[in-house]
Amino acid sequence: MNPFPDAKVYLVDDDVGVREALSWLLRTRRLLSDSYGSAEAFLADEAVWNQEPEAPCCLLLDVRMPGMSGLALFERLKTLPWQAAMPVIFLSGHADVPTAVDAVKRGAFDFCEKPFSDNALVDRIEQALTQSAQVIHQRRVQREWRQRMDSLTDRERDVMDLVVAGLPNKLVADQLGISVRTVEVHRSRVFDKMGVKSAVELANALRAAP
């Protein structure tokens, strides 16, 4: 069973034989792929790199290509805030291994030397997709958390801070100069918006907030 049914592996290599072999290999493992013959062709497909990925993905990237090199493309992609969601595995010839190793030190996920072992390469691809899935999930959690926090009014934030500090409703009301009933209403709204059922759960969620 494919653990990544929605995942996509992007292949960027100027050697059509390599692209076809990799596409076939990925199909045998039920992994979707898109291939490009150059870094420029990949960059021209803005649907890929110009928005944050919503499904796990990774990039298999040849180190040495005519025109923009794989290394130059990698440096370009590193400027994107979501780049960690698309791990890069370099494909290198023997002469390019030192360059690929240096790229790993600068943030690439790994490199595989040509000719590569099919099993070893797919293992690393699946590990890269697992990392991608984790990053995408974390980004989604962060966005949802920010949306929840942004939905709170200033008064609800005031009430939340005091509730989390352990104050009972009466003391919260005294501190804010409002009625206990008003505190209860705000407290209920805070719990609803933050998706919690108790002050303890809210405090734990705030401590664990990304």
The type of residue at 31 is L
> Is the separation of the CB atoms in 39 and 12 below 8 Å?
yes
> Is the separation of the CB atoms in 162 and 175 below 8 Å?
yes
Q: pLDDT of 29-41, one tens digit each? A: 999 999 999 999 9
DSSP letter, residue 101 = H
Q: Is the pLDDT of residue 99 over 90?
A: no
> Is the separation of the CB atoms in 112 and 124 below 8 Å?
yes
Q: pLDDT of 129-151, one tens digit each? A: 999 999 999 898 888 888 999 99
The predicted model scores a pTM of: 0.80
Q: Is the pLDDT of residue 1 over 70?
A: no
The percentage of the chain sitting over the pLDDT mark of 70, rounded to a whole number, equals 99
Specify burial of residue 175 (Cβ count, 10 A radius: 0-12, 13-18, 19+): middle
**Helix or strand holding residue 11 (H, E):** strand 8-12
Looking at residue 93, what is its pLDDT?
Answer: 81
- Report all structural domains of the chain as residue ranges with CATH numbers, in order of start: 8-143 (3.40.50.2300), 151-204 (1.10.10.10)
Looking at residue 188, what is its pLDDT?
Answer: 93
